[in-house]
Amino acid sequence: MTEIVYLPQIKETIKKINLIEIIEEGFVAYSQGKVIVPPVGEMIFENPPGDCHIKYGYIVGDNYYVVKIAQGFYENPKLGLPSTNGLNILFSQKTGEILCILLDEGFLTDIRTAVAGAIAAKYMAPKEINTIGIMGTGMQAKLQLKYLKSVVDCQNAFIWGRSEESLRRYTEEMSDSGYDLQVTQKLQDIPRNCNLIVTCTPSKAPLILAKHVQKGTHITAVGSDTSEKQELEPKILRIADKVIVDSISQAQSRGECYHALQKKEIVKEDLIELGNMILEKTLQRTTEDEITIVDLTGVAVQDLQISKAVYKAVN
């Protein structure tokens, strides 16, 4: 019998799951070549503008496969509806049975992205973090800070936003986050004051310049998942000691690495895949003054792992 799980139950359930562990397992399987992720299905609508993406995949020999459907309709807020939505469908890889439909409304995508940010910091952030810098004030900017709590020991966070209003809302909603929050509208305040930075904006031009990045800084770039979006000056990837990506194949066509590869600031051979970094200590941060970058564009194995975990936890 197919289980239908709605958002409130999903939100309760993920509190009980060790998400870092299960998403790490997914990245490792991915980098070991055990994950099959066929090309993404896409429908683009014009009137009103919208899109639907279908991502699907599985770990060879696992008991499950997953189909995730995510849609974005950017005029929805005018109708009082959220602009993004989605569901995850979990199947048995042994019988094709539809085990579970997770009507998560896009929530699990937000969570698995935030968890990937925490994994990046766990291995790559310096030991002594003075202040965490967050670029952006949206949902992901909140979740990233929240999920960092479990992996880094720092109570100071500096938030950059484009407007006073968005910063005010951010600090209001995050008032019980356990962080001492400072805000700014000056871009350079973040790299000058923070040695663990997470960028989570839809920017199409660099927000952080190489000249502002201090030794010993770690940056996780979350916002860019297309070839158009960009948050870091490409030169930052050249001056970095290590550049980690969740998927080397995706990094060549999207995210910060795409821009840095295009500008020849780096070559493909410089890139280290996240799943390999997790397994290999020498690929992680080894000294306090390294500059390190983790560029995340999102892979279907994250959706697979989080869907499986929710399904198992409700059964």
Per rule CB under 8 A, count of chain residues that contact a copy of itself: 39
Contacting a copy of itself (CB under 8 A), which of 20, 103, 187, 239? 103
So which residues are the catalytic ones? Answer: 68
Contacting a copy of itself (CB under 8 A), which of 8, 15, 33, 95? 95
**CB atoms near residue 163 (< 10 Å):** 10
41 or 178, CB closer to a copy of itself? 41
Rounded least distance, CB 314 to a copy of itself, Å: 16
8 or 96, CB closer to a copy of itself? 96
- Residues in the chain, overall count: 315
Q: In this structure, are residues 5 and 308 in contact, taking their beta carbons and an 8 Å threshold?
A: no
Rounded least distance, CB 6 to a copy of itself, Å: 9
Which ranges constitute the DSSP H helices of the chain?
7-14, 19-31, 107-124, 139-148, 164-173, 189-193, 235-239, 248-251, 255-262, 274-279, 300-314
Radius of gyration of the chain (CA): 19
Q: List phi, psi (to 5°) of 191.
A: -65, -25
Considering only residues 75 through 94, tell me which ones interact with a copy of itself, judged by CB under 8 A: 76, 79, 81, 85, 87, 89, 91, 93-94
Helix H or strand E encompassing 209:
none
Q: Is 138 in the site for a copy of itself (CB under 8 A)?
A: no
Q: Is 45 in the site for a copy of itself (CB under 8 A)?
A: yes
Stretch of 15-23, 73-81, 136-144, 167-175 contacting a copy of itself, by CB under 8 A: 73-81
**In which residue are the tokens 């992720």 written?**
37
Name 70's bridge partners.
53, 86
Which ranges constitute the DSSP H helices of 38-196?
107-124, 139-148, 164-173, 189-193
Stretch of 39-47, 113-121, 206-214, 270-278 contacting a copy of itself, by CB under 8 A: 39-47
- Preceding omega of 48 cis (within 30 degrees of 0): yes
Interacting residue ranges for a copy of itself, rule: CB under 8 A: 2, 4, 36, 38-39, 41-43, 45, 47-48, 50, 52, 54, 56-58, 61, 65, 67, 69, 71-73, 76, 79, 81, 85, 87, 89, 91, 93-98, 101, 103
